[in-house]
Amino acid sequence: MEKEYYYVGVTVDEAIQKGLKDLALSEAAVKIEVIEGGSAGIFGLFKKEAKVKLIPLDEEYSKEQAVELAKITEEVKEEKVVQKEEVVVEKVDEQKVKKEKTITTVEESVVEAEEHEEPVKKVKREDYIVKNKDSIVNYLQNIVVAMGYPDATVDFIEDGNRHFTLNIKTEENTSLIIGKRGITLNSLQFLVNNYAKKFSSYYFRIEVDCDNYRENRKKTLEDLALNLAKKSKKIGKPVELEPMTSVERKIIHNALTGIKNVETESRGEEPHRYLVITAK
């Protein structure tokens, strides 16, 4: 379900900039719809403010996580600017090499086909997330190092179906990387997915993990779902959970799907959307 945010300003541009700042997103990361164009009125009377609607392109966008992430990354802004310049140069070089390689491959294929009088086979499309995995890994690793983990390393894992996992490893205490209920880990995941979009316009999903937190959290939520369903049935009333991300709400919903006389319902607006469990 798309998340929609409305903002007003003297002009359309002012309303858009106000929204982008509030959501901690770039213009490229949102869909913009102009609701009202605004009007200066007549002799200063009957003024009408401009109104716009901003829709984050990332279906799992969380305003709370994005703002928190902006605070985290602000402290290492100067270092990240240098890193970004290096990545841009690296990307340009890679694109140049890719272009030259593609041209050479096509030319060689044509010559070979002419010699053997066989049709040229279509080259399989590359997975650009895999192709640029080193840049993506370095991007996350540099952030974690800047957070105070100089020994941190990141493993890139292909899970299949365009799903990937970046697993952070360090000998230090990882509580700062994970954050309360995984909020910092989720923020890092949001940042990495946004960064990786520059390499591919096709669907993909990158999950950021540390100390097997994701699997442990999933087991905790599944146990919580069953216990709260029992509680709801015992007291004869619905039970409300604390606000959670869409991924965590889905884990609880799936854990209770198929259980007779147990229902789950999402209520509220992001980032305070929560689940209600009702058992009869």
Query: Within this chain, do residues 103 and 12 fall inside the same structural domain, yes or no?
Result: no
Last residue of a domain, one of 176, 211, 246: 211
Q: Which residue is it, tokens 């716009």? A: 52
Single-letter code of the amino acid located at 142: N
Query: Within this chain, do residues 197 and 125 fall inside the same structural domain, yes or no?
Result: yes
pLDDT in tens, 236-271: 999 999 999 888 999 999 999 989 999 999 999 988
Whether 150 is covered by a domain: the verdict is: yes
If you average pLDDT over residues 50-74, what whole number do you get?
78
Whether 90 is covered by a domain: the verdict is: yes
Query: Within this chain, do residues 139 and 20 fall inside the same structural domain, yes or no?
Result: no
pLDDT of residue 15: 87
Sign of CA dihedral 280, 231, 215, 163: positive
pLDDT in tens, 81-108: 555 555 555 555 566 656 655 555 545 5
Query: Within this chain, do residues 219 and 199 fall inside the same structural domain, yes or no?
Result: no
Query: Within this chain, do residues 143 and 113 fall inside the same structural domain, yes or no?
Result: yes
pLDDT in tens, 204-215: 999 999 999 999
Query: Within this chain, do residues 269 and 249 fall inside the same structural domain, yes or no?
Result: yes
Q: Tokens representing 180?
A: 């309360």
Distance of alpha carbon 26 from alpha carbon 29, whole angstroms: 5
Evaluate if residue 110 carries a pLDDT over 70. Answer: no
Enter the DSSP assignment of 58: S
Distance of alpha carbon 174 from alpha carbon 124, whole angstroms: 40
Last residue of a domain, one of 211, 232, 257: 211
Whether 69 is covered by a domain: the verdict is: no
What CATH code is carried by the domain that includes residue 184?
A: 3.30.300.20
Single-letter code of the amino acid located at 123: V
Query: Within this chain, do residues 244 and 138 fall inside the same structural domain, yes or no?
Result: no
Query: Within this chain, do residues 223 and 207 fall inside the same structural domain, yes or no?
Result: no
Query: Within this chain, do residues 193 and 93 fall inside the same structural domain, yes or no?
Result: yes
Domain count, the chain: 3
If you average pLDDT over residues 42-62, what whole number do you get?
75
If you average pLDDT over residues 112-129, what whole number do you get?
59
% of the chain surpassing 90 pLDDT: 49
Query: Within this chain, do residues 83 and 197 fall inside the same structural domain, yes or no?
Result: yes
Query: Within this chain, do residues 138 and 40 fall inside the same structural domain, yes or no?
Result: no
More confident call, 69 vs 229? 229
The pTM of the whole model exceeds 0.75: no
Least Cα distance to 66 among 28, 32, 20, 27 occurs for 20
Q: Buried (b) or exposed (e) across 74-108, using 16+ Cβ within 10 A?
A: eeeeeebeebeeebeeeeeebeeeeeeeeeeeeee
Averaged pLDDT score across all residues of the chain: 82
Query: Within this chain, do residues 234 and 197 fall inside the same structural domain, yes or no?
Result: no
SS3 157: strand
H/E segment holding residue 279: strand 274-279
Evaluate if residue 123 carries a pLDDT over 50. Answer: no
If you average pLDDT over residues 146-168, what whole number do you get?
95
Last residue of a domain, one of 151, 179, 211: 211
What CATH code is carried by the domain that includes residue 245?
A: 3.30.1370.50
By residue range, what is the domain housing residue 226? Answer: 215-279
